[in-house]
């Protein structure tokens, strides 16, 4: 792990211009990943011995066990086909644009030869966004479910047609107003088992869980939460606006749906819905971050700590027939975006 407070202009680029001048060659990108992975210098992943030397092909040789380790070995960039400059540019677009980027516009902007290559790059980046053991939501948390997909009224050609997926949504309610972080997960159904599992995964014990009157949530008290159910029927009877009982989850769900239709034009298949929801939550939870460069840094930091993700894992799908087949990944790698050398400020400052 790097410093808790990475510095703009030193540890991460503050602008697209800075990004371009820092990461002008594949070597610069590799040097940055090396620094992100081993800020105090190389540590052998095999025997944990700190110490080794660089060998000709840019990997390290351990001074103890003599094993050779490439900087990107065992990370998201392991056995990559696209040059690191292309990866970094993709990562910059992914992080620096508030709503992210679609595979199609990534392919066009970076002149990536095939759509599946661009598609797979973005899906690999999405994979790293969910850290295992990440903090759960705290305080007062609204929880509800909503459907994604299926027929959307007002859409021509039924482009959002397909199987509906039930998505559980949780969002922190802040006092006196506003919302904190959110979590979203595709759930199998609206049963107590499915929804309580979602609550356990997403919400810290002891938090107050605000739901509607759906009986599946009744058991959360037994799990260790304070439960605050709001019955729609009671609200309707007293003349309250039923839709306003859980304003946070409804806001998050509608923002997420709008984002799916906007950035991704509603083109996604049910098998990958969860990874889009993860991306949405990642963006929503960083919506107040003023530095997009810091988001770029965080994504790379997660990627260098993440296991490799193989193409077949990305297309692996429990119900293969429901997903339109992807064309095979075309051979021929995108050209490197090499530019004249930069001066590596992240090294100079240490």
Choose between 47 and 155: whose C-beta lies nearer to Zn ion: 47
User: HSE (CB half, 13 Å, CA atoms) of 290?
Assistant: 1
Rounded to the nearest whole angstrom, what is the least distance from the CB of residue 304 to Zn ion in the complex?
A: 19
Rounded to the nearest whole angstrom, what is the least distance from the CB of residue 109 to Zn ion in the complex?
A: 40
Q: What residues numbered 144-173 form the site for Zn ion, per CB under 5 A?
A: none
Choose between 45 and 345: whose C-beta lies nearer to Zn ion: 45
Nearest residue to 166 (alpha-carbon basis) of 253, 104, 237 = 253
266 phi and psi angles, rounded to 5 deg: 70, 10
Rounded to the nearest whole angstrom, what is the least distance from the CB of residue 230 to Zn ion in the complex?
A: 58
Contacts with Zn ion by CB under 5 A: the residue count is 8
Rounded to the nearest whole angstrom, what is the least distance from the CB of residue 243 to Zn ion in the complex?
A: 60
Segment interacting with Zn ion, rule: CB under 5 A, options 37-45, 170-178, 251-259, 310-318: 37-45
Cβ proximity of 325 and 6 under 8 Å? no
Site string for Zn ion, 44-63 (x = CB under 5 A): x-xx-x------------x-
Segment interacting with Zn ion, rule: CB under 5 A, options 42-50, 224-232, 251-259, 284-292: 42-50
Choose between 53 and 288: whose C-beta lies nearer to Zn ion: 53
60 vs 44: CA distance, rounded Å: 8
Choose between 64 and 244: whose C-beta lies nearer to Zn ion: 64
244 vs 250: CA distance, rounded Å: 8
236 vs 152: CA distance, rounded Å: 26
Site string for Zn ion, 76-115 (x = CB under 5 A): ----------------------------------------
Residue 305: left if φ>0, alpha if ψ -120 to 50, beta else—which one? alpha
Choose between 44 and 91: whose C-beta lies nearer to Zn ion: 44
Q: What residues numbered 62-81 form the site for Zn ion, per CB under 5 A?
A: 62, 64-65, 67
Please spell the DSSP secondary structure of 3-25, one letter per residue. -SSPPBTTTB-SSHHHHHHHS-S
Rounded to the nearest whole angstrom, what is the least distance from the CB of residue 71 to Zn ion in the complex?
A: 15
Rounded to the nearest whole angstrom, what is the least distance from the CB of residue 52 to Zn ion in the complex?
A: 7
| Local structure of 69: helix, strand or coil | strand
Cβ proximity of 178 and 198 under 8 Å? no
Buried-state track 131-149, b at ≥16 Cβ within 10 A, e below 16: eeeeebbeebbbbbbbebb
Residues at the interface with Zn ion (CB under 5 A): 44, 46-47, 49, 62, 64-65, 67
């Amino acid at each position: 792990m790097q410093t808790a407070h990475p510095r703009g202009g030193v540890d991460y680029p503050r602008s697209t211009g800075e990004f371009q001048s820092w990461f002008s060659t594949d070597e610069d990108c590799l040097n940055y990943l090396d620094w992100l992975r081993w800020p105090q210098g190389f540590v052998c992943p095999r025997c944990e011995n700190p110490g080794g030397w660089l060998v000709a092909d840019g990997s390290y040789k351990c001074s103890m066990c003599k094993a050779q380790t490439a900087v990107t070995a065992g990370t998201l960039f392991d056995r990559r086909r696209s040059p690191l400059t292309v990866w970094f540019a993709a990562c910059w677009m992914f992080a620096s644009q508030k709503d992210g980027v679609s595979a199609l516009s990534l392919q066009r902007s970076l002149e990536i030869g095939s759509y599946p290559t661009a598609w797979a790059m973005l899906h690999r980046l999405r994979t790293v966004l969910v850290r295992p053991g990440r903090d759960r939501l705290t305080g007062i948390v609204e929880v509800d479910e909503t459907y994604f997909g299926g027929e959307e009224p007002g859409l021509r050609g039924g482009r959002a047609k397909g199987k509906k997926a039930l998505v559980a949504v949780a969002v922190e309610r802040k006092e006196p107003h506003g919302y904190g972080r959110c979590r979203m997960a595709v759930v199998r159904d609206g049963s107590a088992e499915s929804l309580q599992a979602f609550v356990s995964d997403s919400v810290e014990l002891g938090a107050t869980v605000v739901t509607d009157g759906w009986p599946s949530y009744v058991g959360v008290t037994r799990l260790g939460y304070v439960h605050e159910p709001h019955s729609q029927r009671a609200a309707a009877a007293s003349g309250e606006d039923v839709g306003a009982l859980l304003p946070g989850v409804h806001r998050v769900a509608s923002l997420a749906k709008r984002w799916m239709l906007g950035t991704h034009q509603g083109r996604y298949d049910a098998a990958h819905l969860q990874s889009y929801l993860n991306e949405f939550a990642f963006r929503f939870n960083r919506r107040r971050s003023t530095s997009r460069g810091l988001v770029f840094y965080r994504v790379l930091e997660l990627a260098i700590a993440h296991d490799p993700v193989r193409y077949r894992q990305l297309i692996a799908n429990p119900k293969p027939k429901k997903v339109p087949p992807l064309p095979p990944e075309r051979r021929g790698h995108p050209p490197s975006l090499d530019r004249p050398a930069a001066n590596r400020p992240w090294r100079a400052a240490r």
